[in-house]
Amino acid sequence: MTWSADRRALRILDQRLLPQETRIRELTDLDEIIEAIRTLAVRGAPAIGVAAAIGLVVALRHHATSSVPAPVLLEDFVTRLIAARPTAVNLAWAVQRMHRAACAMPATATGEAVLDRLEAEAEAIRCEDVAMCEAIGRHGLALIGEGARVLTHCNAGALATAGSGTALAPVYAAHAAGRRVSVFADETRPLRQGARLTAWELAQAGIPVTVLPDGAAASLLASGAIDLVIVGADRITANGDVANKVGTYGVALAARAHGVPFYVAAPWSTIDPATATGADIIIEHRHEEELAPLPPGVPAWNPAFDVTPRALISGYLTDRGFVTPPFGT
Ligand code: MRU
């Protein structure tokens, strides 16, 4: 995702429609932008941070003629954007960074000057995200030997960032370096990000990818067909616990049981030293409709994320290289 050509809109590829349709949408209205984040038209922890930063600027410009005073509008937009999804720390991280940039402007600054400053900050967040993916790929190249077979869960690739991804960045780097690498993508129930998105973007890049139902991951790991697991993260707590797409925890347990290394790849901004452990993470629960059809009257339990404890994680790959918890402020 990025800016529109005139920088007056947030430009996204609507991920709800993939792989059947590649539809680009340009959004300017805050409600539309929040809806896009909430309904996963744009998704993935780093991507929603970048989208919210750009979205804040374009929505403020779009509403510039509103009768609400600019500082009140800013506070309102910041609060509403942060509330769009609770688990990925990157969303609040990016929006709070934008808020700080606005607050640091002199009281005498014009509304236009504040918007220009915010535009520069959002572009910095986007560019840093691209560079972060590149750095994760570079550091992670050491994990991917010739012929490596990688299992991943959900989508932590280009679609989930402004660059080449987090978990998939080492895969892309290895492919670019001429190494043979193949990926097994968990389908990722219920919204099928693995089957629809990871498989789509890897196929586009010419990297062999095989999709499996989530329930088959344990037996695939037991079969010896996987050399390593790499997943992304939505929040990494001070002690090293990791929130990621629901099902990640089960993959980590199976990987440990079968002696397969399990890596988490994420930008430094996904580390949240202010949250002590995984038990303190707010897990987003989604509508039971996503599990439909169910027999009438049968409720659903539909958490979007789960927490993998530090003990199951072989290594943390970030844009700063491999890092080890605990993570301080
Ligand atoms: O609900 P989603 O599709 O936004 O969940 C995405 C994930 O869980 C990703 O693995 C995570 O955000 C890392 S993306 C680089």
Radius of gyration of the chain (CA): 20
Using CA atoms, how far apart are residues 215 and 233, in angstroms rounded to an integer? 20
Using CA atoms, how far apart are residues 182 and 202, in angstroms rounded to an integer? 9
Q: Is 133 in contact with 161 (CB distance < 8 Å)? A: yes
Q: Which of 65-69, 165-169, 234-238, 248-252 has the lowest mean pLDDT?
A: 65-69
Using CA atoms, how far apart are residues 224 and 215, in angstroms rounded to an integer? 16
Using CA atoms, how far apart are residues 44 and 238, in angstroms rounded to an integer? 21
Q: Between the CA of residue 120 and those of 4, 40, 107, 236, 242, what are the distances in Å?
A: 15, 26, 19, 28, 31
Closest ligand 1 atom to the C-alpha of 304?
A: 1
Q: Between the CA of residue 321 and those of 153, 175, 265, what are the distances in Å?
A: 21, 20, 10
What pLDDT, on a 0 to 100 scale, did the predictor assign at position 70? 85
Q: Is 94 in contact with 53 (CB distance < 8 Å)? A: yes
Ligand 1: residues with CB < 6 A are 40, 43-46, 88, 154, 156, 160-161, 166, 193, 232-234, 244-245, 304
What pLDDT, on a 0 to 100 scale, did the predictor assign at position 69? 74
Pick the catalytic residue: 129, 186, 214, 234?
Answer: 234
The percent of residues in the chain predicted with pLDDT above 90, rounded, is: 96
Q: How far is the CA of 97 from the centre of ligand 1 (A)?
A: 21
Q: How far is the CA of 243 from the centre of ligand 1 (A)?
A: 9
Question: For the segment 125-171, what is each residue's pLDDT rounded down to a tens digit?
Answer: 999 999 999 999 999 999 999 999 999 999 999 999 999 999 999 99
User: In sequence order, what DSSP letters do the residues of 259-275 get, joined into one string?
Assistant: T--EEEE--GGGEETTS
Reading the block at residue 13, the tokens are 């590829």
Count each helix (H run) and each strand (E run) in the chain, helices first. 10, 14
What pLDDT, on a 0 to 100 scale, did the predictor assign at position 96? 98
N- to C-terminal Cα separation, the chain? 29
Whether 234 is a known active-site residue: answer yes
Record the pTM. 0.97
Which of 14, 40, 43, 50 has the most ligand 1 atoms within 8 A of CB, as the residue to mutate?
Answer: 43
What pLDDT, on a 0 to 100 scale, did the predictor assign at position 24? 98
Q: How far is the CA of 225 from the centre of ligand 1 (A)?
A: 25
